[in-house]
Amino acid sequence: MKHFILSCLLIFCGNAFSQDAGFKSIMQEQSEYYGSLNLKTDAQFDSLQIAENGIAPANKGLEAALSPTCTLNKKVYGWHPYWVGTAYTAYQWNLLSDLCYFSYDASPSTGNNTNASFAWTTASVVTVAKNNGKKIHICATMFSGHSTFWASSTAQTTFINNMVSLLNARGGDGVNIDFEGMGSSDNVPFITFMTNLNNALNAANPNYKLSVCLYAVDWSTAFNMPALNSIVDDFTIMGYAYYYSGSGQAGPSDPLYNFQTGYNYTLSKTVTYYLKAGATASKLLLGLPYYGQEWEVTANTLPSSTTGNFSSSRTLSYINNNPTPYSAANKSWDGTSYTPYYTYLNSSAWRQCFIDDVYSLGRRYDLVNQRGLGGIAIWALGYDAGMTSYWTLLQNKFTDCAPLVCNDSIFDMGGPMRNYYDSESYTYSLAAPTGSVVKLQFKSFGTEQGYDSLFLYNGPSVASPLIGSYTGTNSPGTVTSSGQNLTLRFKSDGATVTFGFKAVKSCTPQTVVTGLNSYEEVDEFLLYPNPTTRKLFLNTAKIKAFELFDAQGKLILSKEIDFETEFILDLAALNVNKGLFILRLHQDNNAIQTKKIIYTD
């Protein structure tokens, strides 16, 4: 299911959707197809790539001028399928942490490899990756016959011994298990097998790593997540094929948000599912596609039913090298799932192709950062041959060279048009450049009253002073940090969801106000007590906003008032020293008044 290479020559139409019972995976079809070609060398596969995608994989002339000094702060794990040839010569190695060679196709009856093109022991890409300091892994696949494998201790032992021998032979680092099509009956024997494999790897070399591919939707509870979490080092979520070649409706392979309400599986929901099931966030690597899916459809509108006459996956490089159907004029944006797509006529039949671009993939990378995941996994390296923008995107999202983005839209995990999900819990921080502060303007806000809440903190973590907690329709309005960071924490319970929140982030210069020594006194009923030892109670019936400054004129807090008639200002929670403060009040009649506040013991 993971991995499509697409071309104008090949059409793969298997039912590779999230491990539905009875499907034949796309990867299995690809393995069978490429095996039937009897191609063995990188040069032969390069010739195939030129025929399929119109460009040599290793087009060095198009490499990006990226900084080799940028250091990754997340894992960037990439599968390298043998059929991409010498694409590795254009990999930006400092932007990869792990390379996984695809694939050892395990025989259920013997445990031995059945893929004649599996060249781990001699493949140049393994040597080059290792020479560049990358972790190198073997991806081992099994697409059917799991019960046969579980019934044969000999086959399992052979497989395990082969993995250890192959890693030892090349100084490898780990094994990635991609057993697709499993169901609930495989749950227990899979854990037993993984435990035995893990024990053997640790005995051979304590540094050997074990990872496992997780399905986009685990329909049949194939994975015992608490047990696996104690065994494996990483989980690679196969975050694609939500809509697949056999879908009755065209849609995004990797919807960030819910494309259609009748089918609400998304990347965000998948992440939440595995976290709730017992995965450690730092072990989750969100697999994302460097390909999309194209169908013949009944109309040029969304959503559109597929006809069944044509379906093919398309790589990023294929789209890039075929500008006539995939032109700007034919490109549209689906704002519900946050996915671009192309619509065009092929003869007299409509086609739709959903595939990420730099912006949409960047928003998916943002999800990884917001949910605190360990990183990403790419299916597949080489599918962006001849392009540099996707390497630049990795640098801009997952390295210490990442630029600060000041103007951005912020949503809950349901996106701008759909509800958030049950059982969510996440925290992330927003940052501004030195000398600026973060301003967050909430355009809409709604959660389940008393059960689902948003918390805002004035600083880089939840240890920073709490600005406020918000539930129901109690919107934060506009909130401005006193320093460079503002932190959001959201939680939802196990039932009842609604539209969540939409906000706009911006950066504004840190305010230092002068001329605050002359005051127009405000009626005493507006705030009390003053002096205060901690809390001020502010009557806000006639106030629409206020700012709090220290004695030097530095902005400490900015707050818009929506519907509250009284606001509690907790000075202790702002983590400020006791002393003199200035409160500037913006009244409904646009008058601005100031008040001296004394914070004392």
Q: What is the mean pLDDT of the chain?
A: 88
Rounded to the nearest 5 degrees, what angle is found at the Cα of 412, between the Cα atoms of 406 and 415? 90
Q: Which of 213-217, 261-265, 457-461 has the lowest mean pLDDT?
A: 261-265
Per-residue pLDDT at 176 = 98
Residue type (1 letter), 532: T
Per-residue pLDDT at 514 = 54
Q: Which residue from 297, 362, 289 is spatially nearest to 319, judged by alpha carbons? A: 289
Non-local CB neighbours of 303 within 8 Å, separated by 6+ positions: 249, 250, 251, 259, 260
Q: Which of 106-110, 186-190, 216-220, 270-274 has the lowest mean pLDDT?
A: 216-220
Mean pLDDT on 418-445: 96
Q: Which of 256-265, 302-311, 573-582 has the lowest mean pLDDT?
A: 573-582
Per-residue pLDDT at 234 = 98
* CA dihedral for 117, 83, 255, 348, sign (positive or negative): negative
Q: Burial level of 476, CB count in 10 A (0-12/13-18/19+)?
A: buried
Q: Is the CB of residue 549 less than 8 Å from the CB of residue 584?
A: yes
Between 224 and 557, whose confidence is greater?
224
The token pair that represents 112 in the structure block: 């031995």
What are the backbone dihedrals phi and psi of residue 290, each rounded to the nearest 5 degrees, phi first? -95, 35
Mean pLDDT on 167-175: 98
Mean pLDDT on 103-111: 97
All structural domains of the chain, each given as residue ranges with its CATH number in brackets, are 26-58+67-398 (3.20.20.80), 408-509 (2.60.120.290), 524-599 (2.60.40.3080)
Between 145 and 38, whose confidence is greater?
145
Most confident option among 52-66, 309-323, 443-457 = 443-457
CB neighbours of residue 187 within 10 Å: 15
Q: Which of 40-44, 91-95, 327-331 has the lowest mean pLDDT?
A: 40-44
Q: Which of 50-64, 248-262, 354-368, 482-496 has the lowest mean pLDDT?
A: 50-64
Where residue 566 falls among pLDDT bands split at 50, 70, 90? Answer: low
Q: Coil, helix or strand for 46?
A: helix
The token pair that represents 101 in the structure block: 């060679």
